[in-house]
């Protein structure tokens, strides 16, 4: 076992709950560490129900396309915990990570603190000690009480979308969830607001008015759309004619727009149209409608078949995934077979409903090693209730084998969970996973 895995396993035991939204414990630990959150590069803080990870990826790519350096903090990890912390463009090394985690563990002194809180403190410590031009910081859950929300004056913020997810922590209504995510808005700091339901937008605008945060709102202050095979972005400063984003899926147009609006909000003369265009074309973000090729799992397919992976896991993600699959089918029609696994913290029926009209068959599996995984038999029953034939498989490899046997030249999509996506990438790349699951995100 890696040293970092041993420490992370210990850190899981510091709080009885995986999620306990509060800032008190973070304030205490960061004070003991010398308040590293006050010594960071200019911060771009990104929240949202869906799309925040892709917006972070586009933003980082655009900054790096300008020859600048960017720290990056994301969650959850897919295969290895190290994915969460990127220092000036490079994933944190094992020795560096282990030393930071031990430093935070000693400073915490055994007091109650969640896994996400103490590991976020370690990330802040790392970011404060390595120079970079920017820090792109993804919210873990919500915003107002999220452990990342310790930054008093970021350079810019963004709320990518609002949907019904994590209601047990953020509220039962769109408005309540929007208010929680709007907690990252700060006095005098531009907040980029993506496309979302009018009720969510109104709730965010009310918070922005209260804290005096200027907003750049999609459909009002800026717009982004595909036209003639190009991406067009327009705001008060003019129009940009750009290449389509490298990340697949029609929904990535909106995420790219969020990132472009953030770059415009920075008003950094080093990041112009050419750098934005280069960043759009070079951005990478795994498990977001990702084509898998050349690995162990994709090697199980018959000739002419395709293997895709997407980690979307809520109702809105199901809708945009179905839209993207429909667009793919218009360009290249072929039978769609789904491999599906989910956690019981999500509404499986609401996620799957938009996909039901597209799928020829679904193979379900219980996500390996996840105590909160929905049983494969239960998912199969859900699919059948929505009119899709379903079968059950044991494990990722068997599920792909079964999907591949359903017919030639098919399009196979593995979907339903980022934690399933981690197992898929590890199997495809024949890579060992961190002992601590990505599901331990808080």
pLDDT digits (tens, 9 = 90+) for 92-110: 999 999 999 999 999 999 9
Collapsed DSSP state (helix, strand, coil) of residue 316: helix
The set of residues, in sequence order, having a beta carbon less than 8 Å from that of 327 and lying 6+ positions away, is 250
**Residues 222, 233: Cα–Cα separation, whole Å:** 7
Just give the CATH number of 3-282.
3.40.1190.10
Q: For the chain, count helices (H), then strands (E).
A: 15, 17
By the 8 A CB rule, do 185 and 158 touch? no
Pairing, β 411-415 against β 336-340: parallel
* Per-residue pLDDT tens over the stretch 33-47: 999 999 999 999 999
Mean pLDDT of 124-146: 96
Q: How far is CA 7 from the centre of its chain?
A: 24
The mean pLDDT value of the chain amounts to 94
**Residues 364, 273: Cα–Cα separation, whole Å:** 44
By the 8 A CB rule, do 158 and 45 touch? yes
The set of residues, in sequence order, having a beta carbon less than 8 Å from that of 32 and lying 6+ positions away, is 107, 108
**Residues 114, 19: Cα–Cα separation, whole Å:** 7
Residue extents of the structural domains in the chain: 3-282, 290-429
**Residues 24, 440: Cα–Cα separation, whole Å:** 20
Answer yes or no: is pLDDT of 207 > 50.
yes
Q: How far is CA 3 from the centre of its chain?
A: 26
Mean pLDDT of 416-436: 93
Q: How far is CA 44 from the centre of its chain?
A: 15
Residue 427 has a pLDDT of 96
Q: pLDDT band for position 169 (50/70/90)?
A: low
Global pTM reads 0.92
By the 8 A CB rule, do 139 and 146 touch? yes
**Residues 396, 309: Cα–Cα separation, whole Å:** 12
Do 3-282 and 290-429 fold alike per CATH?
no
Question: What Å distances lie between residue 355 and 5, 254, 317, CA to CA?
Answer: 37, 21, 10
* Per-residue pLDDT tens over the stretch 176-186: 999 999 999 99
* Per-residue pLDDT tens over the stretch 51-70: 999 999 999 999 999 999 99
Residue 442 has a pLDDT of 45
Encoding tokens for residue 74?
């994301």
Q: pLDDT band for position 345 (50/70/90)?
A: confident
Mean pLDDT of 112-121: 96
Which of 407, 415, 408 shows the shortest CA–CA distance to 379?
415
**Residues 353, 355: Cα–Cα separation, whole Å:** 5
Q: pLDDT band for position 20 (50/70/90)?
A: confident
Candidate from 114-128, 256-270, 311-325, 349-363 with smallest mean pLDDT:
311-325
Determine the topology of domain 290-429 in CATH. Answer: 3.90.190
* Per-residue pLDDT tens over the stretch 403-425: 999 888 899 999 999 999 999 99
Residue 166 has a pLDDT of 58
């Amino acid at each position: 076992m890696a040293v970092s895995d041993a420490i992370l396993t210990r850190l899981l035991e510091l709080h009885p709950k995986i999620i306990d939204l509060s800032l008190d414990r973070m304030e205490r630990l960061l004070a003991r560490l010398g308040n590293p959150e006050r010594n960071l590069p200019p911060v771009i803080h990104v929240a949202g129900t869906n799309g925040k990870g892709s917006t972070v990826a586009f933003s980082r790519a655009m900054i790096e396309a300008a020859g600048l350096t960017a720290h990056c903090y994301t969650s959850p990890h897919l295969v290895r915990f190290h994915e969460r912390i990127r220092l000036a463009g490079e994933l944190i090394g094992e020795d560096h990570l282990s030393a930071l985690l031990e430093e935070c563990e000693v400073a915490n002194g055994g007091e109650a603190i969640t896994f996400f809180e103490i590991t976020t403190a370690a990330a802040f410590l790392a970011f404060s000690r390595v120079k970079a031009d920017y820090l792109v910081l993804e919210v873990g859950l919500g915003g107002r009480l999220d452990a990342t929300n310790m930054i008093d004056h970021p350079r810019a913020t963004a709320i990518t979308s609002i949907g019904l997810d994590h209601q047990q922590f953020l509220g039962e209504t769109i408005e309540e969830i929007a208010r929680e995510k709007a907690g990252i808005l700060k006095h005098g700091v531009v907040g980029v607001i993506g496309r979302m339901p009018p009720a969510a937008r109104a709730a965010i605008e009310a918070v922005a008015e209260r804290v005096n945060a200027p907003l750049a709102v999609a459909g009002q202050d800026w717009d982004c759309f595909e036209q003639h095979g190009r991406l067009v972005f327009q705001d008060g400063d003019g129009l940009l004619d750009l290449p389509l984003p490298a990340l697949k899926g029609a929904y990535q147009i909106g995420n790219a727009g969020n990132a472009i609006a953030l770059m415009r909000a920075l008003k950094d003369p080093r990041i112009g149209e050419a750098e934005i265009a280069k960043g759009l074309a070079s951005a990478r973000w795994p498990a977001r409608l990702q084509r898998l090729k050349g690995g162990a799992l994709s090697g199980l397919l018959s000739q002419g078949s395709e293997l895709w992976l997407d980690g979307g896991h809520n109702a809105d993600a199901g809708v945009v995934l179905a839209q993207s699959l429909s667009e793919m089918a218009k360009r290249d029609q072929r039978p769609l077979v789904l491999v599906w696994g989910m956690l019981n913290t999500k509404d499986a029926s609401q996620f799957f409903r938009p996909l039901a009209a597209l799928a020829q068959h679904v193979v379900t599996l219980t996500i390996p090693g996840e105590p909160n995984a929905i049983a494969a038999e239960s998912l199969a029953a859900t699919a059948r209730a929505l009119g899709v034939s379903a079968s059950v498989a044991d494990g990722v490899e068997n599920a792909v084998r079964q999907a591949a046997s359903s017919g030639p030249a098919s399009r196979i999509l593995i979907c339903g969970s980022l934690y399933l996506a981690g197992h898929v990438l590890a199997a495809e790349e024949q890579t060992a996973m961190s002992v601590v699951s990505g599901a331990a995100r808080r």
